[in-house]
A and B are shown apart, each in its own frame.
Chain A
Amino acid sequence: MLNFNIDFTGEFFAFFLLAVCAIVGAVLAVNFTKVVHMALSLAFTFVSLAGLYVVLQAEFVAFVQVLLYVGAVTILMIFGIMMTKHQSEGQERGRPLLETLAAIGCLCLFGILFYAIRSAGFAKPDVPLPDNNTLSIGKLLYSTYAIPFELVSVLLTVAFIGAVALAKREEDQP
């Protein structure tokens, strides 16, 4: 079953390079001790994933990924890091049993997923994607997915107001 008959095309090399970057960023993020280093290496992973989206002919999604994850989410997390104190960074260790159990569980989950991916038979695609990616996505968003699109805008407004209301300092309460 484990026949790795890989055809070495340019796409495979691009995929391999970006995949190594993404995994290295994620592993470093889990292993760093300082919180800011973790956030920055996860930003590296997000940039590598944007590159993978470009390889997958999803240029608009790649652009949104850079704008939203690298631009917004990482910066928001760094704001969160700077507004809170992290004096207990050095004493993270001390729960070896929990970490071992979590690692075993994650490895088991990966094993199951890998087995499922290897044993699934994927059919070859028959038609290529349209060339003008952004134009097609815009047309889809404003015709087929108009109602979900508007609902997402409502949700963003609600989340924005909710975040402001939650983080606002309550003056009258002690």
Chain B
Amino acid sequence: MSMLASYLTLAAVLFCIGLYGVLTKRNAIIVLLSIELMLNAANLNLVAFSKYGVVPSLTGQVFSLFAMTLAAAEAAVGVAVLIALYRRRATVNVDEFDELRR
């Protein structure tokens, strides 16, 4: 089992744990953090391929830097939306944000 396969397996494990958190947790902050975990798993794949890919280059690391920047922007906007919703509904439970469904 090469090192690349080990890194990809670890990233798959982290991605699946993050997906489980997104699907089962009710607290919106935990859902956001689980999404960050999934993004981190994707970043790990990019960095692993930048070293162990067929043509090793720094492009994978540059892409992971861009992905991290987007994740930070997403977290900031996500927490802002969450606080605006909390001010309106006084809850962070994602089950209760169902106004569009009713």
Contact = CB atoms under 8 A, between A and B. Distances in A.
Interface of A: 3-6, 11-12, 15, 19, 22-23, 26-27, 29-30, 35, 38-39, 42, 45-46, 49, 52-53, 56-58, 60-61, 64-65, 68-69, 72-73, 76-77, 79-81, 83-86, 88, 92, 95, 98-99, 102-103, 105-107, 109-110, 113-114, 117-118, 120, 122-123, 125-130, 133, 136-137, 140-141, 145, 148, 152, 155-156, 159-160, 162-164, 166-167, 169
A30 B33 CA distance: 10
Interface string B20-63: 11011111011011101100100110011011111111110110
Secondary structure at the B interface, as helix, strand, loop or mixed, is: helix
A108 to B, nearest CB: 9
A98 B24 contact: yes
B77 interface: yes
B7 A58 contact: no
A127 to B, nearest CB: 6
A15 B11 CA distance: 12
Contact of A30 (B15, B20, B65): B20
A163 B77 contact: yes
Contacts of B68: 61, 64-65, 68-69
